[in-house]
Amino acid sequence: MVLLLFDQESGEKISLSYDEIKGKTGVEAEELRRTLQSLACGKVRILQKNPKGRDVANSDRFVVNPEFKSKAYRIKINSIQMKESAKENKETHAKIFQDRQYQIDAAIVRIMKARKTLSHNLLVSELFKQLKFPAKPQDLKKRIESLLDREYLERDDQDATLYKYLA
């Protein structure tokens, strides 16, 4: 959509500022910055940015690069990814942790459903084999305790290290 603004039939060079492009396209600010950065600062430079630099400011002006040539009929423009903020990073890690807890719970229930009775050490070693991510023993212990509280499992009356699956 941004490149269509630079389509010219009269042969004159069209120079547009960031604010003009934003006004004509109606694209969200962060998305537009990323798009313009890809077009003007990436590997394939279809647009020229004035002043030159990596970041896109509100005062920057853009013009079609007259020296741009490509042998290919189609060209691939790689989108530049913005860095994840600390808040987003924290949210992502929290979501991953939550998903992993569900996976651990499901693995424990699967193992115990198949075996009916199992010692703590055998259960933990079987979990390490089944889980596709590195899990800490204390996290596994917390998940086992959670399943005990929710009455999916119970401890054996004679041996406290033995778990029984409750159907």
All residues at 6 or more sequence positions from 43 whose CB lies less than 8 Å from its CB, including other chains: 78
Contact predicate 147/111, CB 8 Å:
no
All residues at 6 or more sequence positions from 110 whose CB lies less than 8 Å from its CB, including other chains: 130
Contact predicate 91/71, CB 8 Å:
no
Residue count (the chain) = 167
Whole-prediction pTM value? 0.54
- Per-residue pLDDT tens, the chain, 167 aa: give them: 777 777 765 556 777 887 888 888 887 878 878 888 777 776 777 787 777 777 777 778 888 777 777 787 787 776 666 666 788 888 889 999 999 999 999 999 999 999 999 999 999 999 999 998 888 999 999 999 999 999 999 998 998 889 999 87
What percent helix, strand, coil does the chain show, rounded to 5?
A: 45, 15, 40
Give CA–CA dist 79/41, Å, rounded: 11
